[in-house]
Amino acid sequence: MQSQKTSTPTPDQIRRAPKVLLHDHLDGGLRPGTIVDLARESGYAGLPESDPDKLGTWFREAADSGSLERYLETFAHTCAVMQTREALVRVAAECAEDLAADGVVYAEIRYAPEQHLEAGLTLEEVVEAVNEGFREGERRAREDGNRIRVGALLTAMRHAARSLEIAELANRYRDHGVVGFDIAGAEAGFPPTRHLDAFEYLKRENNHFTIHAGEAFGLPSIWQALQWCGADRLGHGVRIIDDIQVAEDGAVKLGPLASYVRDKRIPLEMCPSSNLQTAAAASYAEHPIGLLRRLHFRVTVNTDNRLMSGTSMSREFEHLVEAFAYSLDDLQWFTVNAMKSAFIPFDERLAMINDVIKPGYAELKAEWLFQQAAATPALASGSATPQG
């Protein structure tokens, strides 16, 4: 008799499993139909397709280029239709709804307020609109029988010069829906050290921040994010694999940076499907997440951009289950890692782990018991009774 502990979780079980998402971009997760609606309402005529299905396909194909820079170009269309309060509220509410329907119980969603000012909104109005949308999405999810909590990460663009201003904005709203700060954008030529004033400010204010590092650029990006900037987490961090040597006999040797990342339990916000699109990994089976999980790095699984990658948290887990034969225990390990690494208070993280995540996985892992009982034929009338 094979227990659920060692068997492969089904897609339905993966969907129902409680999940935690730390790395997801608001402007990378719009519903194609919403983009079409908002473009029509705002008069934006730049969409390559007006049919939602064709538009969704276009986004995935355009992002599937093997280039991070080309991948980032697709955001011009989503940002173009996210310039009004009403649009931001709608997109944020639908984001929370979609994640909750996929079993996500906690999510930190990031966006760059500076990219939503073209129609006259202020930075504060952008933040308040997105927060309103997240609360509305949480309410709708509850009505549908789903539970989710969403926190916002305010992102500064690494090629721009507003990082200190956005960091100050994140600090002002830290008790009003914003849980931390991030920088994003093309890594090459735009090191995180260009934004040291923002990171020094956040550290003085005891605030949390993550940094996109080690995705398209290598170990120097990770080293700077940690040792110069003091990041709490690494956005992607997939290139930490460059500091790990695996011998022919399977022996593993960690370099000094990889050892530091593992020893300090620095969370890695891994996004497998996105990494394949940007050529940070060649396939799911070859993705560094397999080795890093084996070596007990603080690995988390994330979606990055659900629209561009045509993905969800459930799909990311399905890919990993197929590639590495992961069990529900493995998926719980990734999920607990993520919750431990969230930017909300410790007691709230602990309650989410003990009262939501672990009970949810325990219920899924126990299902085989009832399936086994249902599959056992009843004793025939008059047959011998089982002895106690």
Query: Tens digit of pLDDT for each residue in 165-202?
Result: 999 999 999 999 999 999 987 766 678 888 999 999 99
CA 381 to chain centre: 55
Helix (H) or strand (E) holding 213: strand 209-213
CB 107 within 8 A of CB 339: no
pLDDT tens by residue, 370-379 = 876 666 665 5
Give the C-alpha distances (Å, rounded to integers) separating 359 from 300, 313, 351, 356: 19, 19, 11, 6
For 209-220, b/e burial (b = at least 16 CB within 10 A) is: bbbbbbbbbbbe
Domains of the chain: 11-365 (3.20.20.140)
Encoding tokens for residue 7? 């068997």
3-class secondary structure, 111: strand
Going residue by residue through the chain (388 aa), what tens digit of pLDDT does each one get? 444 445 799 999 999 999 999 999 999 999 999 999 999 999 999 999 999 999 999 999 888 876 666 677 789 999 999 999 999 999 999 999 999 999 999 999 999 999 999 999 999 999 999 999 999 999 999 999 999 999 999 999 988 889 999 999 999 999 999 999 999 877 666 788 889 999 999 999 999 999 999 786 789 999 999 999 999 999 999 999 999 999 999 999 999 999 999 999 999 999 999 999 888 888 999 999 999 999 999 999 999 999 999 999 999 999 999 999 999 999 999 999 999 999 999 999 999 999 999 999 999 999 977 876 666 665 554 555 555 4
Q: Please, what sign has the CA dihedral across residues 252, 257, 259, 263?
A: negative
| pLDDT (0 to 100) of residue 246 | 96
Which residues touch 380 (CB under 8 Å, ≥6 apart)? none
CA 149 to chain centre: 14
Give the C-alpha distances (Å, rounded to integers) separating 156 from 19, 146, 169, 236: 27, 31, 11, 17
Encoding tokens for residue 321? 């289950």
Torsion angle, alpha carbons of 237, 238, 244, 248, to 10:
170
Which residues touch 307 (CB under 8 Å, ≥6 apart)? 28, 29, 30, 31, 32, 56, 59, 60, 78
Which residues touch 325 (CB under 8 Å, ≥6 apart)? 8
From its phi and psi, is residue 145 left (phi > 0), alpha (psi between -120 and 50) or beta? left
**Alpha-carbon span 103 to 126, nearest angstrom:** 27
Encoding tokens for residue 167? 């960091």
Taking residue 185's Cβ as centre, other Cβ atoms within 10 Å add up to 17
Active-site annotation, residues: 215
286: nearest Cα among 258, 320, 263: 320
**Alpha-carbon span 209 to 127, nearest angstrom:** 17
H helix count then E strand count, the chain = 18, 10
